[in-house]
Structure 1
């Protein structure tokens, strides 16, 4: 059985968060290729490079220098080549304003960064197991905010 690996990207300016996310991905029984970016501009440069392997899912931190997650989300949704990519906001913020703003700007799911490693691994695994076609066609505020 040779399933194609999921192409996952994470844009997050925090070194520790990138490392823990990478370790969690390695422990999950889902084949993935993970690319890590230090900030939103790096991510957007990659996504806008001709011939780059577009991800199946983008995990996007909101609070990053140079280009933040909301700016990336708006840019992705306004680009015809990128607008259908699945975007998971991955943030420590639980602000209703952030949640509402990312929902209205087209994010597919909002994941609060868990505060311990086992919850992080569980959250990442559950998000990767979502049936995205079903999830995005039934998107509403109840399915948008992901809680562990």
Structure 2
């Protein structure tokens, strides 16, 4: 059986972070197709196109210009055709308020941006290998924050 390819989207305004993320994804033994967006508006414009190939997981930075991650998250959760998407908040913020607010607004998991490439690779791989069906149905505050 051919391995299916996992479609992933990353919205992050930091070019270095996007590049590192892309490198990390490239080193993981999961077949992926990564779409990169440099702000939330680009991401939402893409997701709402009728012919868009929707990602299984969206990694969403919170602090972005034009449209931030929280605005994207709310729009995704209010859109019938995007409701099923898994959203991983991917942020440098470790503020309880951000974590709480993204949880309440329906994000599936919260990942603090790791400060080393090795940790980034581990975090991304862990997120991609999650059993999302289980993870989304048994969502609670304890398993919301990804721990490495």
Q: Moved runs in structure 1, 4+ residues, more than 6 A? A: none
TM-superposed CA distance for 1:3, in Å, is 1.3
Query: What does residue range 47-62 of structure 1 map to in structure 2 within 5 Å?
Result: 47-62=47-62
Match of 1:137 in 2: 137
1:71-110 equivalence runs, <5 A: 71-110=71-110
| TM-score normalised per structure 1 | 0.99
Q: Distance in 1 between matches of 2:95 and 2:57?
A: 23
The residue matched to 1:72 in structure 2 has which SS? Answer: helix
Once the two structures are TM-superposed, the CA of residue 56 in structure 1 deviates from its matched residue by 0.3
Structure 2 length-normalised TM: 0.99
For the aligned residues, what is the CA RMSD? 0.5
Structure 1 unaligned blocks of 5 or more: none
User: How many residues of Structure 1 are paired with residues of Structure 2 in the alignment?
Assistant: 148
What are the ranges of 5 or more consecutive residues in structure 2 without an aligned counterpart?
none
Report the alpha carbon displacement of residue 12 of structure 1 after superposing the two structures with TM.
0.0
Number of the residue aligned with 2:42: 42
